[in-house]
Chains A and B, each alone.
Chain A
Amino acid sequence: MARPKIARKSTSIDMTAMCDVAFLLLSFFILTTKFKPSEAVPVNTPNSVASKIAPEKDVIMLSLNKDGKVFLSTGDGAADKANKKEIISTLNSSKNLGLSDADINALVKAPFIGVALSQLGQQARIPTEQMTGEALPGIPCKDTSNNELTDWMRAVATVYAGQKPNLLLKGDNVAKYPTFKNVLTAFRKNGFFKFQMVTNPESVPQGSDLWKKGTADAGKKTE
């Protein structure tokens, strides 16, 4: 019997369509990605049910790392950087730190401030790559008599006179409570009574009062 001839088909597939899809997805991900700013101070934040997204403008961020060191940083916007410069200049004149303009500019560029006021000049001179949470001692706020964080917050209050900065506190899971308390003291002394703590989102436990409230609100909205 003569077998019918099976046409020999080419095994190569037209890749054009697949390539289109691949690059479409690629461009989507490139455009939507916002790179996490490289954190010089690694902090593992705790979880909370708070659903409000942390603000990004007018931010004064205090990071508490796992060793209980405190670091101060600001937002990345141009206005925030200008305010940071103002803050450092204010401290420079009020505390007679003797920082040059170059030093101040270097500190503004630095990702965070992590030394005592007297050592600010030294931090300005070390390269940015070497500024890490381990290398720098943190802003001293261990005891109430030498709480330099209070001075920083006073400068912040002076610069932001009339407007409200978004005070953010980003603490590590294992940071001890006394450090947190000292930060609170620094806030309180300068009349900052409202601040926000950066956390990772977490779902509300089912059956709790907040959950009931949330479902009731959602029900109202749909009606």
Chain B
Amino acid sequence: MAEMDTSGGGGHKKGPGVKKGKKMSTRVDLTPMVDLGFLLITFFIFTTTMSQPTAMKLALPDDSAKPEEQNKAKASGALTILLGKDNHVFYYEGILQADASGTNFKSTNFKDIRDVIIHKKQTTDTSDMVVVIKPNDESTYKNVIDILDEMSINVIGRYALVDITPDEDQLIKITEQSAGQ
């Protein structure tokens, strides 16, 4: 039978066949069991994922809508944000002017774009305010999510994800090149 000798080897031996069942201690050394228990606890703590992934909603505009039904953005309330490569952000207010007389095409980054949005929001009428987001082909998924997140952080009601025009793409490339030199 399975028995445990906890007496530590002391005591004199009796002859074979002579059993002394009375002295057997019922205490078991639990230290290894505790060790094992805590080992498993540690394992489960480390493998548990604490945070559930969340989901952000995005509603897309219906492409099939007729052009006359689409709402036109007022130039005064429009803020266009362009996303370039390496987390570069560019923006302009209203209609793009990029001739020799001067440009309203400005460069910024993800930290400062919030101030730009807040400033725009404070200076324009809420019903006119619309943010147009134009990521170019070099921008990453993270950039797009970040900027959409920025919209919800600043509670912008109207924003749209729009394809970039070749002119704007060109302008981004030129600006990036000149910044790199």
Q: Write the residues of chain A forming the contact surface with B, with a CB cutoff of 8 angstroms.
A: 12, 15-16, 18-19, 22-23, 25-26, 29-30, 32-36, 45-55, 64, 168, 171-181, 184, 187-188, 192-202, 204-205, 208-211, 213
List 10 A-B pairs, minimum CB-CB distance, nearest first. A22-B37, A15-B30, A29-B44, A50-B56, A196-B55, A171-B141, A173-B142, A54-B55, A175-B141, A209-B155
Which of the four size classes fits the interface of chain B?
35 or more
Once A178-B137, A200-B51 are accepted as A-B contacts, the answer to whether A26 and B44 lie under 8 Å apart by CB is yes
8 Å CB contact of B145 from A26, A171, A192: A171
Q: Does B1 contact A (CB under 8 A)?
A: no
Do A176 and B53 touch (CB < 8 A)?
Answer: no
| Cβ–Cβ < 8 Å partners of B54 in chain A | 48, 50-54, 198-201
Do B55 and A29 touch (CB < 8 A)?
Answer: no
> Residue of B at shortest CB range from A15?
B30
Given contacts A175-B140, A201-B53, 6 further A-B contacts (CB under 8 A): A22-B41, A30-B44, A48-B152, A176-B138, A180-B141, A200-B53
Question: Closest approach, in angstroms, between the C-beta of A207 and any C-beta of chain B?
Answer: 10
Do B55 and A52 touch (CB < 8 A)?
Answer: yes
Do A198 and B53 touch (CB < 8 A)?
Answer: yes
Residues of A contacting B: mostly: mixed
| Cβ–Cβ < 8 Å partners of A34 in chain B | 49
Once A173-B141, A175-B140, A177-B143 are accepted as A-B contacts, the answer to whether A208 and B153 lie under 8 Å apart by CB is yes
User: With A and B bound together, what is the CA distance between A176 and B52 in angstroms?
Assistant: 25
Query: What are 20 pairs between A and B in contact, CB < 8 Å?
Result: A26-B37, A26-B44, A29-B44, A29-B45, A30-B44, A49-B152, A50-B57, A53-B54, A55-B55, A174-B142, A176-B141, A177-B136, A179-B141, A188-B63, A196-B57, A198-B55, A199-B55, A201-B54, A208-B114, A209-B121
8 Å CB contact of A177 from B34, B47, B57, B140: B140
8 Å CB contact of A194 from B51, B52, B58: B58
User: With A and B bound together, what is the CA distance between A66 and B131 in angstroms?
Assistant: 28
Do B34 and A174 touch (CB < 8 A)?
Answer: no
Once A177-B139, A200-B53 are accepted as A-B contacts, the answer to whether A46 and B145 lie under 8 Å apart by CB is yes
Once A15-B30, A23-B37 are accepted as A-B contacts, the answer to whether A199 and B137 lie under 8 Å apart by CB is no
| Cβ–Cβ < 8 Å partners of B30 in chain A | 15-16, 18-19
| Cβ–Cβ < 8 Å partners of A19 in chain B | 30, 33-34, 37
